[in-house]
Structure 1
Amino acid sequence: MKEAHKLRIKNMIKISKSYPYNFMHKRIALNALKVIEKEKGKLSKGIMMQCDSYAKNTLGDIKYAPWLYVYSALQGKFKEGWMPDNYYGEAVKRDIDGSFSAPSECKPLSNRILKTNKLPDLLYVNNGLFIEPVNYKIIPASTAFDILFSKDDTVIFKSNNSSQGVGVRFYAKNEWNVEEIKSESGVFQKIIKQHEFFNNIFPHPGATIRITTTLDSNGKPTVRTAYVRLGRMNDNSLSKHVQCNSEVKVAINIDNGELYTTGYMPDWSSTELHPDTGVRFKGLTVPAFRDACIEVENLHSNYPFVQCIGWDVIINDNEKIEIMEWNAMHNDIKFSEAVQGPCFIDLVDRTTSK
């Protein structure tokens, strides 16, 4: 009886946490649907019924239907095997990956976990201490300054839990303030000179390729989807790095690295060209894309404790791969599922067959 009571309480807590999470997703999805329907027309009742049936009978709850409406509206039809973003958050990230997702949020741990030289990390700061990224030794502030600004006058700082451009800022050499920086917690990274391909689309640093890898049933990581995130012009010159409230997303064909003809704004409105430069996406092929896919598949093998990882990759001016960060907590799958999906059919099958 006591164990049953504990289980009931545990389930009640789980439900109480689930409701606001799914309510938020419903609101975001229905807002996206309105924008897509303005361009593509009203989603038919027949397709909505298919979404509802799949959400209830396959995924287990009608609360997963809203993102299925979005995916269907964008592609003009319903497809079996789609994974709603909120289902991914609950059935994969919460119920399967659990606490193993959390380490990706702690930027200074990335080198230790992934065991790679592809990260542009220069220095870590935590609890008022400066830590070098090779041997994780504590160093004095004077040495930290030399490490950061020996080659460039500006570096990037990313706080722990930063994502989608939020929690990211530039530090110039003349802004160095030891006491202020000691209060931070995160990683300093060098500014990467991106490949000319990205400069030709938008001539400011920071274009990233988001590649998502997923473990198959045998634990082998494979690339499932990819898209490029491009910055926008802004009145503040320090805000031209990619940010979630202004970025342009363009899907990449994972077989050949070609950009899709159509990109999407944060509100899900579509565009066939970069809004600031007028460069069209059609016919453009990302350099070294296959190399990037191989790299992130290998890196996922170094941390096989989570089902999916989103990798933010930059191709530098020497056509080499650099890993800006990895996200195993709740990486964005809704864009990829809507534009390229279904991308995770086997993962849906594994979660629904339990």
Structure 2
Amino acid sequence: MPQQGFSPVTRLRYLAGRARRIDVGSVVERAKEASAQHGKALPLVVADMLYQAGVKNVGFQDYIDYDFAILTPAERATYMTHPVSNQISQKYDHPDYRGLFQDKVEFDRTFSEFLRREWMVVDAGNADDLRAFTERLGTIVTKEPVGQAGTGVHRYHAADVEDWGSFHRGLLERGEILVEEVIRQHDDLAAVCPGTVNTTRVTAFFDGEKTHILAMAQKFGRGAVSDQMTFGGFYTMLDENGHALGAGYDSHGHVHELHPDSGVRIADFQLPMIDEVTAFVDQVARVVPQVQYVGWDIVVGPEGPVLVEGNWGAGVYENKPSVTGIRTGHKPRYQAAIGF
């Protein structure tokens, strides 16, 4: 098992950095959201948010997203938060290997056998190869090597390209050099949103012998190239059997009992092939064992799971009490697996 606890130096550096970056106006605006939604006095919410951030390792957005204003101290203690997640990443994801996850080209090379789709890298001399690749597949997805939250991801259709030389130059100039085949998703996922590849975020920790699944969230898109919130996407938490724990929600106050486009009831969703997903996560977690704590983005395809990417800064997905009625989070699982 890994060593217990976090470095106090790392903790202090993180707190100092947060203090330097604090945006008081933003904190007040978030506090107004919680005050209005839960009927709490604004000054008390502001004070509570600052206390939770400074003493309890709770991010300001965590406080809003997970309805901390209505939770008891004991309930709050069960929630995983972004500051704690960051400390885990810094301790258990070796700096020398993080680049394999940050650079999408390097990631595809490292995890090529688990991608289960075609891909290529655009360079100055392969315009003809790009055209042949795109025309054969019909639709492609391009990515900038470094990006997050869906930024730098684009979708193109061969039928829309009029000048292939210009298209090739444009990808190079914009840095969209990673080109991938569009993932085909399982019919159960397509039934919710067919226009977007809907990913499952599986947060896992590899202790050197065993892979521990800490949390699973199912993301749904709105027809755009990405299911991230910046593209209108939202998520729902899944239980250990892959069943939705409630309606969908995002960090902008939107709640979706039904998918806005398909009308599918989110709480009825069941992730197909859950046993295959669990085994798949164990496989990919062993490829780079020096990076132990990862948020894996996976899509269940018709024949099984497909790897989209891995995030060494795993981020946090949690239950939202006002939506699901569930007033506890996943932190006990993290503590049991990691030992902090």
Bin the TM-score by the shorter chain. 0.7 to 0.9
CA deviation after TM superposition for structure 1 residue 258, in Å: 0.7
Amino acid at match of 2:98: S
CA distance in 1, matches of 2:48, 2:69: 15
What does 1:191-202 align with in structure 2 at a 5 Å threshold? 191-202=182-193
Q: How many angstroms does 1:276 deviate by?
A: 2.9
- Separation (CA, whole Å) in 2 of partners of 1:257 and 1:45: 40
> Residue 250 of structure 2 corresponds to which residue in structure 1?
265
Residue 321 of structure 1 is matched in structure 2 by 305
Q: Which position in structure 2 is the counterpart of 1:142?
A: 128
Distance 1:116 1:48 in 2: 49
In structure 2, the CA distance between the partners of 1:211 and 1:81, relative to structure 1 (3 Å rule), is: same
Residue 88 of structure 1 corresponds to 85
Q: Which moved more, 1:200-209 or 1:45-54?
A: 45-54
Map of 1:1-354 to 2, 5 A cutoff?
17-20=17-20, 23=22, 34-35=32-33, 38-42=36-40, 61=55, 64=58, 66=60, 69-70=63-64, 71=66, 73=68, 76-77=71-72, 78-89=75-86, 91-97=87-93, 99=95, 100-114=97-111, 116-125=113-122, 128-129=123-124, 140-150=126-136, 152-173=137-158, 174-175=160-161, 176=164, 177-183=167-173, 184-216=175-207, 218-232=208-222, 239=224, 241-245=226-230, 246-253=232-239, 255-316=240-301, 318-328=302-312, 330-333=313-316, 335-336=317-318, 340-342=329-331, 343-346=333-336, 349-350=339-340
Contact map agreement 1:114 1:303 (CA 8 A) in 2? no
Query: Quick one: distance in 1 between partners of 2:197 and 2:183?
Result: 8
Give the CA deviation at 1:331: 2.6
Q: C-alpha displacement at 1:252, in angstroms?
A: 1.1
Which segment is superposed worse, 42-51 or 177-186?
Answer: 42-51
TM-superposed CA distance for 1:299, in Å, is 0.5
> How well do the aligned residues superpose, as a CA RMSD in angstroms?
3.7
Closer/same/farther in 2, CA of residues 196 and 27 from structure 1, 3 Å limit: farther
Query: In structure 1, what is the Cα distance between the partners aligned to 2:105 and 2:201?
Result: 20
- In structure 2, relative to structure 1, the CA distance for the partners of 1:16 and 1:51 (3 Å cut) is closer
**Identity in percent:** 17
What TM-score do the two structures reach when normalised by structure 1?
0.73
The runs of at least 4 aligned residues of structure 1 exceeding 6 Å deviation read: 10-16, 26-30, 43-56
Aligned length: 312
Q: How much has 1:262 moved relative to structure 2?
A: 1.8
Aligned partner of residue 228 in structure 1, secondary structure: strand
**Offset at residue 286 of structure 1 (A):** 1.1
Does structure 1 retain, via aligned residues, the 8 Å contact 2:57–2:81?
no
Is contact 2:30–2:60 with CA below 8 Å preserved after alignment? no
Q: Distance in 2 between matches of 1:337 and 1:27?
A: 26
Question: Where do 5+ consecutive residues of structure 2 fail to align?
Answer: 1-9, 322-328
Matched-pair contact (CA < 8 Å) for 1:124–1:188:
yes
Instruction: Name the TM-score, length of structure 2 as normaliser.
Output: 0.76
Superimposed CA distance per residue, residues 90-149 of structure 1 (whole angstroms, 9 cap, x where no aligned partner):
x22334425232321211112442352434241023xx357xxxxxxxxx4323432343
What is the SS of the residue equivalent to 1:315?
A: strand
Residue deviations 1:274-315 (CA, integer Å, cap 9, x gap): 123332122321111221121022101111112321111112
Could you tell me which residue of structure 2 aligns to residue 6 of structure 1? none
| CA-CA distance at 1:163 after TM superposition | 2.4
